[in-house]
Amino acid sequence: MAALPRSVETADVDGRVVLVRSDLNVPLEDGRVADDTRIRASLPTIRLLLERGAREVRVCSHLGRPKTDEDKARYAMTPVRDRVAELVSDVRVTVLENTRFNAGETKNDPEFARELAEGCDVYVNDAFGSAHRAHSSTVGVARLLPAYAGVLLLDELRNLGTLLGDVERPYVIVSGGAKVEDKVGVLQNLGGRADEVLIGGKMAEEVRQENPFSFDVVLPTDVVAAAAFDADAETRVTRFDDLPNGWLGLDVGPETRTDFGARIRAAKTVFWNGPMGVFEWPRFAEGTYEIARALADCDGFTVVGGGDSVRAVQEAGIADRISWISTGGGASLELLEGKELPGVAAIPAA
Ligand code: 3PG
Ligand code: MG
């Protein structure tokens, strides 16, 4: 892996105005923050700056993908700002309005970058989840102010970076989800380094028909088949390669769960991305939850990345037994694909 970017720990922020780019792009429900994981993950950097005497900490982030004027009401920062204020009560902290309300943001417009940098002395990028975007707030400002990496950004790079290096073995990769094309890059880059690549979810069907990888994979042996794509559909457990005509495999079967679970529990390094089935529906959630439990039981180094698997880990109630849960979706995949993240590359190396 490339050298790490220089840390906020090395920045002199005493008496300075610091612009912090966090990833506060959180799910909203009824105008409130539905999951504050990313907000809480952004606090260590904010607290560090306050402790080190920053005069002002201006936190900025995008929220959603606003396009129309109506979206401006829907994606206003207010609920996020309120949650931040509940978690850190310090008058020196302000949360700026959604960076994507400015059309220049996603074009990495230098004019908007200047606007953000205005009146600031130091820039800290802590937005790992947005580090794969070359936008004004993630890249443009890094050219205008002395730039440093935040605590979360560095933790993500170190933990995910471990998966690309000399790992303890057995090294097991578990992948799932609907589309194999979303995972090809990551699996191509990581799969060859792993001892076992376990594949579930709908993408297992595609891989069974034609393995696009240059290595062998472990596929399910049985599935929970459903007569229709419906939470209440008639179900039966069948062999993976013997689905009745017109039926759909909506979860991995009990034999597969035992097999995948045992391989994961015996591993020393595990990376999991993507559910084993339609786990939003309780009758098809068991395979995905069993993967989560197996990672929890595994006493090796375990990493979970990607929104759906992170949610499954939380729903299974075992999040605190996972070594690292990434706050990045696309960013973690691009990093593990071996791509350079523009938000990281814009910060001078340590
Ligand atoms: C994410 O949620 O993946 C990041 O915040 C990036 O958001 P984006 O995909 O809208 O750029
Ligand atoms: Mg564990």
Mutation probe of ligand 1 site: the residue of 24, 38, 62, 132 with most atoms within 8 A of C-beta? 62
Percent of the chain predicted with pLDDT > 90: 93
Query: The tokens of 101 are what?
Result: 């309300």
| pTM for the predicted model, two decimal places | 0.94
Residues ≥6 apart with Cβ < 8 Å to 52: 13, 14
For residue 64, the ligand 1 atom closest to its alpha carbon is 10
CA proximity to 131, closest of 349, 327, 350? 327
Among 287, 277, 290, smallest CA distance to 250 is for: 277
Q: What tens digit of pLDDT does each residue of 19-46 get?
A: 999 999 999 999 999 999 999 999 999 9
Residue of 21, 38, 133, 263 marked catalytic = 38
Which residue, among 180, 214, 227, 226, has the nearest Cα to 200 in the 3D structure? 180
Residue 306 has a pLDDT of 78
DSSP at 34: S
Ligand 1 touching residue 67 (CB < 6 A): no
Structure tokens at 303: 């990493």
What digits encode the pLDDT tens for the residues 262-274?
Answer: 999 999 999 999 9
Residue pointed to by tokens 């990434």:
326
